[in-house]
Amino acid sequence: MNNLSSKEDSAKSENNSPSFIEAKSLLEYMWEQRCYFHSHPELGLKEFETCNRIEQELKALGLSPYRVGQTNVIAEIDSGRPGKTLFLRADIDALPVQEENNVPYKSQNPGIMHACGHDGHAAYLLGTARLLLNHKADFSGKVILCFQAAEEIGKGARQIIEAGVLDKVDRTFGIHFQAGMEVGKIGVKTGADMASCDRIKIKIHGKAAHITRPQDGVDSVFIASLTVAKLHTVVSRVISPVEGAILGIGSIHSGTTYNIIAGEAEIEGTIRTFSAESRKKLAEKVEKIA
């Protein structure tokens, strides 16, 4: 029997296994949950209805969820036997994006959309809760389910850590949807996969004047343009070419009309790095340029 036949037979065998069949039986339930979350997206630290839905589902399973902060939901599945504590995490917040897809589960909240897959993350953790409860007799220790708020603005995780939820956790696990990956496949890699994320916000204070009298003003748009151009050179000059890092600018806001020198400008962007050293270097360089 050749290798390909062996793999195909193995896949067929796994697809007929009781564990696979049981997991697949949760597909419709998770799909329904994801459609609900997608239809009712909420921004970071404002996920109140999302949390209410999650708590409703967890309580229906006999669990006792509790909040950390206002919109992080935590629940525990304790086997009653001594063992390790595992922490399973899914983020739940959406993005300030207007959805233009024409689908039955389209966002009902103008200007807000689950464009990063967190609706699916919340749904799969609810499915996981059901599966684990069915097999509570098959493991020792405890599993903590974490539905984390405000991932997009970097605040939900801080609240959970500061509350001590992770103090006695042995391992943490999370999954993130990947749009470019074939359906049905899971990607795993050695080492860091997700970069650290810092938010850049630079406010430039100039002086407004009529555009025909530049000598009376300080042009914040011009300064902002020079700043952005300079920032885009930083990674290639400061970080080793064999180490990944990104410094990107996502928005510039300035001015009120076409013929007035803008008195203020605001630049926002992000730094993504894989080491504390690179993170520090880039942050220092951004401040210096600003």
Q: Same domain, yes or no, for 32 and 147?
A: yes
Q: Is residue 42 part of a domain?
A: yes
- Per-residue pLDDT of 58-99, as tens digits, reads 999 999 999 999 999 999 999 999 999 999 999 999 999 999
Q: What is the pTM of this model?
A: 0.84
Is the predicted pLDDT of residue 4 greater than 70, yes or no?
no
Query: For the chain, what is the domain count?
Result: 2
> Which domain covers residue 211, as residue numbers?
196-289
Return the closest-CA partner of residue 63 out of 44, 76, 49: 76
Q: Is residue 130 part of a domain?
A: yes
3-state secondary structure of 137: helix
62 φψ region: left (φ > 0), alpha (ψ -120 to 50), beta (else): left
- Per-residue pLDDT of 146-186, as tens digits, reads 999 999 998 999 999 999 999 999 999 999 998 888 988 88
User: What average pLDDT does this structure show over 34-40?
Assistant: 98
Q: Is residue 58 part of a domain?
A: yes
Q: Is residue 217 part of a domain?
A: yes
Q: Same domain, yes or no, for 278 and 233?
A: yes
- Per-residue pLDDT of 215-255, as tens digits, reads 999 999 999 999 999 999 999 999 998 888 999 999 999 99
Confidence of residue 13 (pLDDT cuts 50, 70, 90): low
Dmax (CA) of the chain? 84
Q: Is residue 182 part of a domain?
A: no
DSSP 44: T
Q: Provide the CATH number for the domain around residue 264.
A: 3.30.70.360
3-state secondary structure of 266: strand
Residue 202: is it exposed, middle or buried by C-beta count within 10 angstroms (0-12/13-18/19+)?
buried
d(CA 37, CA 94): 9
Q: Provide the CATH number for the domain around residue 117.
A: 3.40.630.10
Residue 193 has a pLDDT of: 83
Q: Same domain, yes or no, for 168 and 247?
A: no
